[in-house]
Amino acid sequence: MSQQSSRAGGLFGAALMSPIGILYLCFLLLPIGFFLSLSFFTYSAQQMYVAEPTLDNYSRLIFDGYYRRIIYDTIRVSLVVTVITLVFGYALAYFLTRVKSTWRGIMMFLIIAPLMTGVIVRTYGWIVLLGTDGLVNAILVWIGIVERPISMLGNEKTVIVALVHIMLPYMVFPIFSSLVAQDPHLVPAASTLGAKPLRTFFEVTLPLSRSGIVMGSVIVFTMTSGSIVTVELLGGRDMTMMGQLIYQLILSTFNWPLGAAVAALLVLCQFIMISYYFRKMRRAY
Amino acid sequence: MQLALTLEKIVKRYGATTALGPIDIDVRQGELLTLLGPSGCGKTTTLHIIAGLTTPTEGRLLLNGRNITALAPPYRDIGLVFQNYALFPHRTIAENVAFGLRMRKVPKAEITVRVRAILNVVGLPNVEERYPNQLSGGQRQRVALARALVIEPSILLLDEPLSNLDALLRKKMRLELREIQQRLGITTVFVTHDQDEAFEMSDRVILMNGGHIEQIGSPEALYDSPQTRFAASFIGEASLTPCTIAQVRGDDVVADLGGGMTIPAKAVRPVDGVGSQALLMARPERVTLSEPNATDALPMTISKRVFQGERILFELTAANGHAFQCSVPSIEKYREMQPGLNVGAVLHECRVIPGA
Amino acid sequence: MTRFLNGSVSRRSVLKAGGALAGAAALGTFGYTPAQAAGDLRIIMPGGSWKEWVEQTFTAPFGSANEVEILWKLGLGQEPLVMAQQARPQWDLIHTGQMRAGQLGAMGLYQPLSEEKMPNLAKIHPSFRYQYLAGKCHTPYGLCVNTSKITREITSWEDLWDPEFKGRVAFPAWGWIGDEVFHAINIAFGGTSEDIEPGIAKFKELFAENGAVVANNVEHTRQLIDAEEVWLVPFFGARIEQAAAAGTPVEFVIPEEGGLSWIWNMSIIANRPEQNVANAEALLDTTFEAERQIEFAKLTGYPPTNIDAMANLPAELKRLELSDSDVELLGKLQSQLDPMTLFAYRDQYAERWNKEVLGA
């Protein structure tokens, strides 16, 4: 495509995008921007906030080890969940491209099906499975791996397992699309040139699915770092993530300035991750 | 004559359906052999079987005397150029071309030299650092060729490599491809559905249809002596008319078309004798027109006229209802002839295909 | 939006309006529509089954009888919206509990209840009548005991600390109702609204040493109870009854130090147009009627607050009857709380709970 026509396409695209752009600006960006700006206001018990500029909310979050720990945990858990989801999600997506189309339809449905129930219902499902009298414990005791039911709720590992389960579809589909979009002749081409299957995968298939990997990871990281319900219900008191803190500060403590500061830091973390990922995705070809 | 590749009784079945074969093909050292046929004739399946991308149900493949039937593609010594080139979009041209060499653990310095050399051979210097999407179709085609050639395979396979190019470029690339093939002396199997391509480039052509081989031979032999009705109708233009053999002398015969119309012809193989059924093939460019009652000329009427620029195509109808095509140069004498005109037609060098 | 920004409004009010907008956006709906003419009533409520029950028993009959259009804004934690709209309130009633009603009422956000406007108010039992809120029902709250796992008699909040039940006790999340339960029990342990040291020390022990689990909401608590994951947990009497009816071996105990009870009803938001206030008062008055309260109790399983209703419960609701001493026991701890102190220190208290109790 020539320079000129692509510029005209850009203008046309911008025209097409403008209604949704204005909608986003008015009903998403402006309210969010306004809300985040509250983080520079002073908290007041009576009026919730007064318009005296301050950095106290941020310094409280950054210099208090308790809050720093929550921020650190949020990033750490989100990264761990993203990486695990990526490994499983990639394997599943790759498998999907390999199975016959009838099976593929059934499998896709099975992957999407959990999305049809709410995250709360799925989280309760995990409680039922992992509870002291739950299925997993029953099996463990029956097999004899443990003598008596073990406590699997209220810890970080359980939260990570559940989050991976919840996030999996968001990883599978972008990767799946990036895999099916690949020229099917590339793998045979590499193979006739002397590349064995594993080599072909790492030299051709994997690098060409980078956009799917980046998309999936961005979605999963962003959603995980903002998750509330799953962490709350499965993490117990051992785990607090930024989403819960925001929820508590906004809806129960009514400390909006501090809540806004946590939200701003969360958005900042997500923004840093997203820009890092997208830098990785930028490509010369 | 040395054989580079032999296909022995190769059969490919999908469930109960036989897609290919059994076929036997010998590919001679250094020749360019074309698999020609309509889509679905089995030519691409044959090529994929040679490359190892498809496993034959039955039969053997011998490459330079070695049985490679069970070898996976990476272990075969074969270069394949895909119809859509299948260049790696995330790799530069140099990296694309170097791919096969890297897989063969060729030292880096040597890779650089060989990549540059082969890009010169295909006429594409100074594109090493570009990416495939920055090249034109023709350039990509050359890169794909370079990538397959640089590993110096025993045999080069080309899967309709010119079909994605525009008509002008395609003609130019035919000659260039043939020129490179002959310069390197590399044994090549070429798949196409385009007979012009096949004729211009090949040493030999294999005509395939419905999963089996119709005819093997030089382009001239295929054009001049089609052995089957399919070969006669697929290759070139031809008027095919059922006839009865009236006289036989060696391979010279006289074909009786009924209504008192008899035409001398050559049989492409021995006929079953006088009175047997056969097919008469008349090539349009071998028909000449004269006055309606000239000697040796058959009286016919022009029933259709198609102006093609450098040539004019007439459809002629004989009194017994048979129609023949006639292609003549676009000169004044013929341009004036219009449908309805009675002419005398002489059908030169007709062929008789017995039993068809 | 332009209406907020036009004319001579102070910077403060612009900020407040913006806060309301941001709040509305954050809560997922857009809260502002121009004030209507007489004939509507705008109610803020968390929603769920309670909203259906309230609608069925009170608002729908009231609306159709008086040709008042009822408009709802549903969602949790709406008090900030009321605070932000202080100068220009857009809603007439907010469904709330006595603690929050006392807090926001003291800030002038709610209008005091008056017997003059609402004659039925006189019939509400004094234990369930506050300045800004009077109950249409109340929700007795105490300990839920699993009787098959716990054989000894449970009498006190102290039983939560019994090492026998280690890992099998739970406590409600702070942001749900845990804060109020904490403050009430803090009083039982000798603290006050200004001094939460006794409570913090005790609960640190409960979580760190007795392995208490956090119960996040009604459904989560029910799950913990039904799965017998937890044997002893503070919970609502009516919910415990539901669990028992569903087959879980549990019973409701009002601890000897005093239980709790939430007075759920609507408070009247101050500074609304006269007609809306009149509508609000007329609707509220119906929530104080004995017959309607009995209807509501049939739906919810929560006891009425109207003295006549309490004394004349139909046979199927006899189980809800509370003795005078029970009623007194339920109000004992909460009545000692100072809503304004708790409101003023809510940020520090929440942080101490997070850090010192949960983070221990």
Q: Does residue A181 belong to the interface with chain B, where contact is any CB pair within 8 Å?
A: no
Q: How far apart are the first and last CA of chain C?
A: 46
CA distance B31 to A104: 45
CA distance C226 to B233: 82
Domain carrying residue C256: 139-261+324-357
Within 10 A of A175 (CB to CB), how many other CB atoms are there?
Answer: 27
> Can you give the pLDDT of all 360 residues of chain C as single tens digits?
333 333 333 333 434 444 444 444 444 344 334 334 448 899 999 888 889 999 999 999 999 988 899 999 998 778 888 988 888 999 999 999 998 899 899 889 999 999 999 999 999 998 899 999 999 999 999 999 999 999 999 999 999 999 999 989 999 999 889 999 999 999 999 999 999 999 999 999 999 999 899 998 888 899 889 888 899 999 999 899 989 999 999 999 999 999 999 989 999 999 999 999 999 999 999 999 999 999 999 998 899 999 999 988 998 888 888 888 888 888 889 888 888 899 899 999 999 999 999 886
- ipTM (interface pTM): 0.81
Average pLDDT over residues B193-201: 90
Decide: B215 and B37 in contact? Cβ < 8 Å.
no
**Backbone φ/ψ region at C15: left (φ over 0), alpha (ψ -120 to 50), beta:** alpha
CA distance B38 to C280: 84
Task: Please check whether residue A251 lies inside any domain of the structure.
Answer: yes
Domain carrying residue A137: 65-284
Task: Looking at the structure, tell me whether residues C127 and C21 fall in a common domain.
Answer: yes
CB contact under 8 A, A31 and C26: yes
Task: List pLDDT tens digits, range A120-152.
Answer: 888 888 887 887 777 888 888 888 888 777 777
Task: Looking at the structure, tell me whether residues C128 and C152 fall in a common domain.
Answer: no
pLDDT at residue A2 in the model = 43
CA distances from C272 to A22, A57, C278, C302 (A): 34, 34, 10, 31
CB contact under 8 A, A194 and B82: no
Decide: B38 and B51 in contact? Cβ < 8 Å.
no
| Residues contacting residue C253 through CB under 8 Å, at least 6 positions apart | C142, C143, C144, C145, C154, C155
Task: List pLDDT tens digits, range A180-218.
Answer: 999 999 999 999 999 999 999 999 999 999 889 999 999
CATH assignment of the domain containing A157 = 1.10.3720.10
Paired tokens of C347: 């940020």
Name the DSSP class of A141.
H
CA distance C228 to C236: 17
CATH assignment of the domain containing C36 = 3.40.190.10
Task: Looking at the structure, tell me whether residues C174 and C211 fall in a common domain.
Answer: yes
pLDDT band for position B356 (cuts 50, 70, 90)? low
Q: Do chains B and A touch (3 or more CB pairs under 8 A)?
A: yes
Which element (helix H / strand E) includes C80?
helix C79-84
Q: Do chains B and C touch (3 or more CB pairs under 8 A)?
A: no
Task: Please check whether residue A25 lies inside any domain of the structure.
Answer: no
What's the total number of domains in chain C? 2
Task: Looking at the structure, tell me whether residues C130 and C9 fall in a common domain.
Answer: yes
Q: Which residues of A touch B73 (CB under 8 A)?
A: 188, 191-192
Residue with more model confidence, A12 or A282? A12
Asked if pLDDT for residue A18 goes beyond 70, the answer is yes
Task: List pLDDT tens digits, range A20-50.
Answer: 888 888 888 888 888 888 899 998 887 778 8
Q: Given the DSSP bridges, would you call strands C138-146 and C232-236 parallel, antiparallel or unpaired?
A: antiparallel
pLDDT at residue B272 in the model = 84
CA distance B12 to A120: 54
Asked if pLDDT for residue A10 goes beyond 50, the answer is yes
Task: Looking at the structure, tell me whether residues C145 and C131 fall in a common domain.
Answer: no
CA distance B12 to B15: 10
Q: Which residues of C touch A132 (CB under 8 A)?
A: 227-229
CA distance C289 to B292: 119
Task: Please check whether residue A172 lies inside any domain of the structure.
Answer: yes
CA distance B213 to B42: 9
Task: Please check whether residue A26 lies inside any domain of the structure.
Answer: no
Q: Which domains does chain B have, with CATH numbers?
A: 3-229 (3.40.50.300), 241-354 (2.40.50.140)
Q: How far apart are the first and last CA of chain A?
A: 14
CA distance C61 to C52: 13
Paired tokens of C266: 């609507």
Task: Please check whether residue A181 lies inside any domain of the structure.
Answer: yes
Q: Does residue A198 belong to the interface with chain B, where contact is any CB pair within 8 Å?
A: no
CB contact under 8 A, C80 and A250: yes
Task: Looking at the structure, tell me whether residues C221 and C350 fall in a common domain.
Answer: yes
Among A164-173, B45-54, B249-258, the range scoring the smallest mean pLDDT is: B249-258
Task: Please check whether residue A131 lies inside any domain of the structure.
Answer: yes
pLDDT at residue C235 in the model = 96
Task: Looking at the structure, tell me whether residues C96 and C144 fall in a common domain.
Answer: no
CA distance A77 to A170: 17
pLDDT band for position B122 (cuts 50, 70, 90)? confident
Q: What percent of chain A has pLDDT over 70?
A: 95
> What's the residue count for chain A?
285
Q: Give which of B356, B323, B352, B320 is closest to B339, Cα–Cα.
A: B323
pLDDT at residue C287 in the model = 95
Which of B71, B82, B158 is the best residue to mutate to test the A interface, defined by the most A CB atoms within 10 Å of its own CB? B82
- Find the closest chain C residue to A251 by CA distance: C77
SS3 of C71, please? strand
Paired tokens of B4: 């580079």
For B123, what's the count of Cα atoms within 13 Å in the CB-facing half-sphere? 11
Whether omega before A19 lies within 30 degrees of 0, making that bond cis, reads no
Q: Which residues of A touch B76 (CB under 8 A)?
A: 192
Task: Please check whether residue A212 lies inside any domain of the structure.
Answer: yes
| Residues contacting residue A105 through CB under 8 Å, at least 6 positions apart | none
What's the total number of domains in chain A? 1
Within 10 A of C183 (CB to CB), how many other CB atoms are there?
Answer: 25
Q: What is the three-state SS of C310-344?
A: HHCCCHHHHHHCCCHHHHHHHHHCHHHCCHHHHHH
Instruction: Tell me which residue in A27, A236, A253 faces C347 most closely, judged by beta carbons.
Output: A253
Task: Looking at the structure, tell me whether residues C123 and C154 fall in a common domain.
Answer: no
CB contact under 8 A, A66 and C355: yes
Task: Looking at the structure, tell me whether residues C288 and C245 fall in a common domain.
Answer: no
- Strands (E) across B174-310 are located at 187-192, 204-209, 212-217, 239-249, 252-258, 261-267, 277-282, 287-290, 298-307
Strand partners, B299: B344
Average pLDDT over residues B244-257: 86
pLDDT at residue B1 in the model = 60
The DSSP string of A82-121 is HHHHHHHHHHHHHHHHHS-HHHHHHHHHHHHGGGGS-HHH
CB contact under 8 A, A252 and C175: yes
* Residue C68 exposed, middle or buried by CB count within 10 Å (0-12, 13-18, 19+): buried
Rounded (to 5) percent helix, strand, coil in chain B: 25, 40, 35
